Amino acid sequence: MQWLRPVAQRDQRLWSLLCALLLPGYIVVFVSDGLALSGATIINALGSAGSLWVVGLLARPAFERLLAVQHTAWRMIALVVAGLLFAVLWYVVVASFLGWANAGFRAGGSIPDFSGPAFRWQILQGFLAAAVLFALVDATLMSQRTVETGHAPAPPDKEGPRHLLIRDGDEIIRIAVDEIVSLNAGDEQVTVSAGARKLTVRRSLNELEEQLPEHFLRIHRSAIVNLNAIERLEPAGSGRLSVHLSDGTSPVASRSGARALRQRAI
């Protein structure tokens, strides 16, 4: 399975670390509740933390698919339901393990009584653990998208300003954002190409990128293009793409930029 690759995802490493840190926490709770510090107490703590770790690894692929759901309302409903199922599954696993461990395999095990507050607390723990795992998986997916595209994805509702005020010598020119074809960085300045006009801005490309709406895409560390100005794309070798724009220029997209462009293609 993909989640069992030799190089674990960041969220899997953090999940393993979290469950490992829970082990001494469970021991402290059991001892403070009147149990003696013994082999049985350590086994019970291992069963609680270890079963959570296993259930988390099994649930991770499903969580990743749920986080990919585009509709926000449906995604939230699915995540809540999945969190409850996660909590119930962990309860069944940990109760079964503790029953086998305490009663013995030859006796056939004995499921402990998790009724009343103990059961509700166990379910609440499971739901909170599922929320933590959701957050870890979501952070990993965001990090992957950032690496693939070369920059952090714009929020889905990002519109940005409709016009920009750009200095041109002693004048300040107001241009429509949609007139901009591309922005190219070099020599500590950025050249803004807007039709026949080319304006120089002494600001970083990262600063300008934050002001642009989502139909502007960074195709290279030194170039941003207006997707609406693209006429065609051609292979440029080594996974790159030649981007032919409406003003006649043809910047070359890096491999990460080419992947981002292909993802935007229908």
Q: What is the pLDDT of residues 193-204, one digit of tens each?
A: 987 888 888 888
3-state SS record for 109-138: CCCCCCCCHHHHHHHHHHHHHHHHHHHHHH
- Identity of the residue numbered 117: P
pLDDT at site 251 = 93
pLDDT at site 9 = 64
Taking phi first (over 0 means left), then psi (-120 to 50 degrees means alpha), and beta for anything else, what does residue 103 get?
alpha
pLDDT at site 231 = 93
Domains and CATH numbers, the chain: 2-149 (no CATH), 163-264 (2.40.50.1020)
Identify whether the C-beta of residue 260 lies closer than 8 Å to the C-beta of residue 151.
Answer: no
CA atoms within 13 A on the CB side of 109: 12
**Low-confidence residues in the chain, pLDDT < 70:** 1-9, 70, 99-119, 142-161
